[in-house]
Structure formats: structure tokens, C-alpha cells
Structure 1
Amino acid sequence: MTHALTTPRHCIGAAQLPLAGFRILDVTSAVVGPYATQVLADYGAAVTKLEHPSGDIIRWISGRSPTPGMSGKFMHMNRNKRSIALDLKKPGTRETVYDLLRGSDVFVNNMRTDAVRKLGLDFDTLKAINPELIYCNIVGFGTSGPYAERPAYDSILQGGTGLASLFAAQDGGEPRYVPYVVVDRTAALMVANAILVALLARESQAGARYIEVPMFESYASLLLSEHLYGETFEPAIGSSGDKRLLDANARPVKTLDGHICITTNTDAQVLALFDAFGRPDLKQDQRFNNAPGRIDHIKEFFQVRAEEIARQGTAHWVRVLAEHDIPAMPCHTVDSLLRDPHMVDVGLVRTVDHPTQGRVKDIKVPVSMTGFEPSLRIPAPRIGEHTTEILRELGLDDATIGRMIADGAAVQAQGTDA
């Protein structure tokens, strides 16, 4: 059988796309896997999203949409991908997946070990089918530890890594979650990075590669690098926790009519801040005019800052702080962020026509690169939108594809048959 999905990288026409020609089979769901593969898809990788006929769970748990199963969050993590929907428990579908894998560079999954093994998608099986395959396994916890088979969600990991406790350490209240799936999103970028490293390494050393990205350890490593602090040294020369970040006043500062965000890390910035306040006397205060002094008197410094900022409105401080070259921005809401003049000017969020959802907001790739123009090549797909198209590329005839759809082994989104 001839497999159209095995087109060599150098034969791909869209040479302006940095990852053009690399093919990824993505069987992940929710956030961490889909966001990672969208990053790669945005740079030109051909991502095939393999879904169960019921679809990725994030289609259904993230709000309503004009067409069922097309939530906003799903659409913002699954553009530039094609969707094939197969029931891998049905006879014959496993061989179809193996055909897809023969023409793939990368396989990404975030299923539990037992499920992967039962479906015949474990590393040993797949590397025998494709000896050059990069196999990326996204897990909640590293498989060498006692938590290996535990389920992991972002909220669980925010608590487990100590992130939730930082709020209690800051204000003496209760631990709480960041209202953003920060562990999932951060781990997704680590997944994308690991895949890129493996693709680069394969250029000089052939052979299959196994990647394991544990979400718990990945985020814990970042949090510890920020907050291990005095405990870094043996013996410890202080407690854990960055006092500048954990102070109760290390938050947006209340103005006369709202809030503003300010950061002054250097002595020069702090001295400029005192000028902006009209308080040159503070520039002689040994508690504040040098970094070690501010660390030891951080509460007093933040208190002075709060008192001065409260005297004027947000617009005043945005203007005055900019005049003194002090990093500052208004504290936006999600809605006001969309109206921010810089956001509008760079066009990060644009309105486009989706073939089934009508007019939608699309978030552009923020990174620019010589020779690469970020583009929306494929709108976020409906469940199985490209099933027939992909099966034809694998060499299946229409009669066989029709039987698979009739038997429930495959799903083709209505009105989207190629």
C-alpha cells in the first residue's frame, strides 16, 4: 500500500514554514497535549488529531458554541490541525493507526499506561512499526515514582507543587488556585521544546526516541527555581520563598480610581520612582535606596509605594511612570485587554470567518521570525472533519471508508466530506 502521508520533508511546498514536512500524530486531549501540538502546527508541522468519536473532552467542558463541540477554548488550541475520528476498540482501526504512524515523525499521547498498552500504542510496539519515530508521553507524574499512575489535573498539580500555598504565604489566608490552567499550559511548552530537541537530534543520530514529560516535576522544577531561595545552600542560609514576591503588597497597586502594575527591580528604577512621587527625600533613605536594604525592609517599601500611588488615578501614573522610564501598565481585565491600544495595533487578536462557527476571534502567533509569516491555514476542526480525506490518503477506497463509518469505527463530520 502506498501511504501519501510519507511525503519527505524536503518535498513539502510550503518552505516558508519552519516545521514544514514534519508530521505529528496527536492522540492527546484537554489542554497540555493539544496546546503543545498547536504550537508546532503554527510553525508548519502537519498535525493529525486522532479523536475518539465523542471528541476531545475540552470541546464539551469549556462553554457553548454555535455548533456543539466547538468551545472557544478548544478552538484556541486546535487550529492548523486535521481531525480524524476513530474508535480504536473497533476491529481494523488499529491497523489504520499503524498506517498513520508509518508516515509520522512524532507520536504524542497523554493516556494512562494501561490504556496505551491495551490499544497497542506503547513505545515498543510503535518503534517496531516506525524505527525513526519520536514518541512523546505526557504524564502527570514521572513513571519511576510512587505517584506514577495517579490521575493529574491542573488544580491537583497547582496544589501538589506548592503553587496554591503561595497565596496563603503571601496574605495569611487560605491556599487557592490561579484561575488559569498554568501547569497544563507551561508543561505544554516543555512538551513542544522536547519534541523540537528530539527532531533536531534525529538529524545527526538516527533511531526512535522516547520522551517523557511529567507535569508534576516539570512545574515543581520551575517553582523551586523561583522559591527555593535560602534553602538552595547547604546548610541553608535562610528560608524558602522570595520575600519580594510573597509580601502581601506584591500585587497590583490601588490608585485613586483603579489599579496599576509596577515593577522596580534596580536601584535606578527605585530612585526614579521616588522622583515620580515627588519624594526626593526617599532617595537618601538607606532602607530603600539599595537592593539589600529593600529586601530587609520590603514591607515598609511597599507601604510607601501604596500610599503614594493612592493619591492619583491610573491614567496619571501610566503617563508619569512612563516619563520616568519605570515599568508599569494598567491592571487589565480580560475585556479591557482586548481594547488595549498596543494589542489593537499589533493585531494579536483578529476576527476571522470560521466555516461552521461564523465570525470568531483568532489569537495570532505572537512570535515573529525572518521568512515566516504566521497564518491560519486550517480552522479548528469539527470531530472527524478530515476522516475521509485522511483515510483516502492512506489508500483506502470509498467503499471501505463507507463501511468503517457505517460500523461506527470511524466518524466523518456531516457536511465536511472531502
Structure 2
Amino acid sequence: MSDTSKRGPLAGIRVLDCTGVIVGPMSTLLLAEQGADVIKVEPPEGDLMRKLGGKAPADAPGMSPKFMHFNRNKRSIVLDLKSEEGREVIQRLAETSDVFVSNMRPRALKALGLTAEALLALNPRMVHCTIAGFATGGPYDGAPAYDTIIQGLSGVAACLETVLGEPRFAPFVLTDHIVGIIAAQAICAALVARASTGEGQAIEVPMFENAAAFVLSEHLGQRTFDPQGSFGDPRIMTPDARPMPTKDGYICVSANTDPQARGFFTAIGRPELMEDPRFRNVSARLANVAEYFALRAESLRAKTTAEWVELLRRHDVPAMPYHRLETLLEDPQLRGSGVLTQEEGEEHMLGLRHANRFAGSGLPESRRAPRQGAQTAEILAEIGYGAEDRARLMGDAA
């Protein structure tokens, strides 16, 4: 593959990114890392995550760690969309963009003239994606939402209550990630449709409905067939579904299939358990999941993590060490695959690179997240603004 071909499968697609915080930037990050030209439109005060996402280096204000990791490979333009000049610029950008993405509420989109109706009238080939807290038409339509609101409402926190004994939010913005990924997939699907029809379309990606479907597809369980049936996958909804202690730490083991269970019983020196009525097949182990997990936990205390990983792999049983955040940074797979990198430059930092690879189109070289408004002048020039107008608009947005 020549260097010139390493542009990514979305090379040539321009994305107008009017998102902030996490759910929207997660979506446009995926598009940017697959080669799209993502223009991040920021208000004069900048994306909230520049300040809320952790402490920025003294010589790089506004470049918080979380902002850096969710906004790689993008360009930044500062526009005051409440001004007439800012709205004129965004409309000109919309005329040359393939995709518009926003997580503003409908009322704000309407006030700024950025609804699907308005932008598709300017550019009928545009894919207009709105990431909303809730789908239109329901009683929550237009209500504000953040990840914790959606985790609590969609049943994510309740699943953790089942396991931990009290409602808890997952210690990462789980639903923001999930919905951001879904939005990127929906945008790509609409781009494929446009290749056939020549027409753009509007997409609505609601956080609550997607998160609720994520939970229920996993844990609707026997309620699927029986109004009185039980919720949940018992292999997951148990306090014993966790990393298990070894002689010197913890290990992660998954022995779900019959061959894997037989391999596990052989590895622990208990081959007779293959014929135990409680464990002899998948259905039996599911019915006796508590006993099966207890047996595994008791057996794994006998050797070190490294000894178990080597022995279980020999018997083709999925097993890996347990990482804390500190040891995760030293994982040889992350380093070897290039997902985790040590970057030099203006800010010395650990960098992240998208894990997926495309053999036919490659991926663009990973670029750091942009300083606020760093590409304002070049983007304005690309849509026809002369030097005098660029200076005026940049002064107005400051």
C-alpha cells in the first residue's frame, strides 16, 4: 500500500461537528480516525470538556486529558453561532459538508437555524444527525440528559445494584460511548444509502432508547416469553461474575462452551467433573451457575496468575491476567499494536490510536486534538473568505 493511499475509508467526507462533551465527540472521533475531515465548531468559550475533562498542562490551557483523547484528528473553528456572521459561516460550511452532527436540544437547533429541514434545504445531499437524550414524540422529548441520567433511567445502574447490592453508575460514561458508536454507524449507513440514491437524510439517535435496548437485549431474559418470568442472564447477574483470586493476584477466566469447561476441569486436575450432572453441559452449568462459579473460584487460588494463564491456554480455555489501570499501561499487546503510544511534541503525553485497521484504504496518521480555533483561518479560507473577512470574523469570535 502506498503512503498516498493511507487516508482511511472515509477520506473525502467532510463532517460538520457541532457537538460537545462526550457522546457527540465520541461519534465524530470514530469518523475522524477513519479518514473524514471533521471540523469541530466551538463557541467562543470552547467545548466544556476542555475545562471539565481534567487538569490541562500549564503550557497548553484548554487541552484537558479527556478532551485530547476524544478529539484527535479533528480541526477546530471558533464561531459565535448566536451572531449573524457566525450563522452565515455555518451555513456556508453546511453547503460544502457531507455530514452534520449535533447533540444540541431541538429548541437550540431551531433557534440557530440548524434543523434538518433548514440544512437539507441548503444541501440536499447532507446526512443530518441529531443525538438526543430522548426520541421525539414521547413524554421526555426535549428534556436535558447526561450519561448518568441515562444510566439511571435505562437500567444500567439497576444491573449494578443486582450485583453490588446498591445502585451505582458505571465508572465511565458508558451510555455516551455506546450511543456515540451507534451514531457513527448510523451516519455511515446513511452515507452508503446516499451513494445509491444521491440524497441525504435526517437521523435521530436517542440516548435513552438505545441504552434501554442495550440493557434489555442482555437482560430481558425469560420475560421475553413469560410475563412472570425472571430478568437477567444468571451468568452475569451474580456477584461471582468477576475476576477471581489466584495465589498472587487475580485472573479473568471464561469457560462457557462444553470443550472449554472440559479443558478447565482437566487443567485444575478434576476431569471427573466432566460427567458431573451439574456441569456436564451448557444447560446444566447454567442451571447450577452459582456452584460452577464457586468451584472455579476455589480452584484458582492454588496457583499464580501466570501459572494459570499458561496452563489454561494449553487447554484452549480463554484466560488473561487482571489489570489495574497502572498495569494496563504496560500491557505488551496495547504497546505492540500501537493503540497506546508515547508521544513527543508540544505536550509530552500518552496517546491513543483507534484500534481498527483497514487493509484496503489504511488509516490517516493520528493527529493530536486541536487547540481551540487553531484552524479557523484555514477553514474560512477554504469556503471563500478573504483575508480581511477572516480577520474580522476571527476578531468577532474571540
TM class by shorter chain equals over 0.9
Show the counterpart of 2:185: 193
CA contact (8 A) 1:16 1:371 kept: no
CA contact (8 A) 1:187 1:218 kept: yes
- Structure 1 gaps, min length 5: 1-12, 412-418
Q: Does residue 308 in structure 1 map to residue 299 in structure 2?
A: yes
Q: TM-score, normalised by structure 2?
A: 0.95
Show the counterpart of 1:364: 353
Shift of 1:138: 0.3
Q: Does residue 209 in structure 1 map to residue 201 in structure 2?
A: yes
Q: Which of residues 249, 255, 260 is equivalent to 1:258?
A: 249
CA contact (8 A) 2:6 2:364 kept: no
Q: Does residue 248 in structure 1 map to residue 239 in structure 2?
A: yes
1:353-399: CA deviations, max 9, x gaps? 34x4x222221221122133333353210110011111122221222
Q: Matches of residues 111-130 of structure 1 in structure 2 within 5 Å?
A: 111-130=104-123
CA contact (8 A) 1:271 1:283 kept: yes
Query: Partners of 1:306 and 1:215 in 2: how far apart?
Result: 37
CA contact (8 A) 2:14 2:99 kept: yes
What is the DSSP-based 3-state SS (H/G/I as helix, E as strand, rest coil) of the residue aligned with 1:29? coil
Show the counterpart of 1:136: 129
Q: Residue 130 and residue 210 in structure 1: after superposition, are their counterparts in 2 closer, same or farther (change >3 A)?
A: same
Show the counterpart of 1:227: 219
Q: Matches of residues 8-407 of structure 1 in structure 2 within 5 Å?
A: 16-66=7-57, 67-171=60-164, 173-233=165-225, 235-236=226-227, 238-354=229-345, 356=346, 358-406=347-395
Shift of 1:107: 0.5
CA contact (8 A) 1:136 1:195 kept: yes
Shift of 1:16: 4.3
CA contact (8 A) 2:8 2:364 kept: no
What is the DSSP-based 3-state SS (H/G/I as helix, E as strand, rest coil) of the residue aligned with 1:76? helix
Shift of 1:269: 0.8
1:296-349: CA deviations, max 9, x gaps? 111111111111111222122111111111101111012211212222222221
- Structure 2 gaps, min length 5: none
Query: Partners of 1:369 and 1:119 in 2: how far apart?
Result: 38
CA contact (8 A) 2:158 2:167 kept: yes
1:187-237: CA deviations, max 9, x gaps? 11100100001001011113330100001111111111111111111x347
Query: Partners of 1:344 and 1:42 in 2: how far apart?
Result: 19
Shift of 1:15: 7.1
Q: Residue 15 and residue 322 in structure 1: after superposition, are their counterparts in 2 closer, same or farther (change >3 A)?
A: closer
What is the DSSP-based 3-state SS (H/G/I as helix, E as strand, rest coil) of the residue aligned with 1:370? coil
Q: Which segment is superposed worse, 211-220 or 367-376?
A: 367-376
Q: How many residues align?
A: 393
CA contact (8 A) 1:314 1:330 kept: yes
CA contact (8 A) 1:135 1:210 kept: yes
CA contact (8 A) 1:82 1:378 kept: no
Q: Residue 343 and residue 15 in structure 1: after superposition, are their counterparts in 2 closer, same or farther (change >3 A)?
A: closer
Query: Partners of 1:310 and 1:375 in 2: how far apart?
Result: 46
Query: Partners of 1:375 and 1:395 in 2: how far apart?
Result: 26
Show the counterpart of 1:415: none
Query: Partners of 1:266 and 1:248 in 2: how far apart?
Result: 21
1:84-121: CA deviations, max 9, x gaps? 00111123111111000100011100001111111111
* One-letter amino acid matched to 1:53: P
* One-letter amino acid matched to 2:270: R
CA contact (8 A) 2:24 2:101 kept: yes
Query: Partners of 1:342 and 1:149 in 2: how far apart?
Result: 43
What is the DSSP-based 3-state SS (H/G/I as helix, E as strand, rest coil) of the residue aligned with 2:236? helix
CA contact (8 A) 1:364 1:374 kept: no
Query: Partners of 2:113 and 2:7 in 1: how far apart?
Result: 36
* One-letter amino acid matched to 1:187: V
Shift of 1:186: 0.8
